[in-house]
């Protein structure tokens, strides 16, 4: 019983591809390349899904376009360049680290570094500052009384 439930859980956990049977290429090598490219292209409508997982019409059009370019003899990078020229860098899940994209690539690590430096400086300054004076005899007696209770 447990094995059946585990098998069902594994089958449900696998990604569901929206690639229709009429889109699949007859050449397994070309189809594998198309799937590889499709995993790296974002659906312009769904935004969080790649074109192989999306059921949107534009994703279907992109899947067909990728397969059409592969059948025309394009290399993977040529297909990616063609789609990027047509739809913009937004469709890439991993845009190139150049130009304005460098800001996005470096913003997270720089912010983490600056916040770490700020936290270190804050903690260090808190250690240096202590009470300006010692307790008076009356305050010390009151503190001893409270601690005895």
Mean of pLDDT values over 100-107: 81
pLDDT in tens, 41-92: 888 888 788 888 888 888 888 888 888 898 888 888 998 989 888 888 888 8
What span, in angstroms and rounded, lies between the C-alpha atoms of 127 and 116?
17
In the chain, how long is the greatest CA-to-CA distance?
A: 92
User: 135 phi and psi, to 5 degrees?
Assistant: -65, 145
What span, in angstroms and rounded, lies between the C-alpha atoms of 137 and 140?
5
Fold of 2-91: Helicase, Ruva Protein; domain 3 (1.10.8)
- The predicted model scores a pTM of 0.57
pLDDT at 119 over 90: yes
More confident residue, 104 or 40: 40
What span, in angstroms and rounded, lies between the C-alpha atoms of 36 and 78?
14
The partner residues of 50 in beta bridges, in order of sequence, read 42
Among 15-24, 62-71, 103-112, 128-137, the minimum mean pLDDT is found in 15-24
Where do the domains of the chain lie?
2-91, 102-148
Q: What pLDDT, on a 0 to 100 scale, did the predictor assign at position 10?
A: 54
């Amino acid at each position: 019983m447990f094995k059946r439930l585990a098998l069902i859980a594994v089958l449900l956990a696998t990604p569901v591809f929206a690639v229709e049977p009429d889109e699949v290429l007859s050449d397994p090598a070309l189809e594998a390349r198309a799937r590889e490219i499709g995993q790296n292209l974002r659906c312009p409508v769904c935004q969080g899904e790649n074109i192989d997982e999306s059921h949107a019409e534009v994703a279907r059009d992109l899947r067909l376009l990728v397969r059409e370019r592969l059948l025309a003899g394009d290399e993977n990078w040529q297909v990616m360049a063609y789609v990027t020229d047509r739809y913009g860098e937004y469709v890439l899940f991993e845009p190139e680290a150049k130009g304005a994209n460098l800001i996005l690539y470096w913003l997270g690590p720089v912010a983490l570094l600056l916040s770490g430096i700020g936290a270190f400086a804050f903690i260090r300054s808190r250690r240096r500052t202590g009470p300006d004076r010692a307790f008076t005899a009356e305050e010390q007696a009151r503190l001893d009384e409270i601690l005895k209770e």
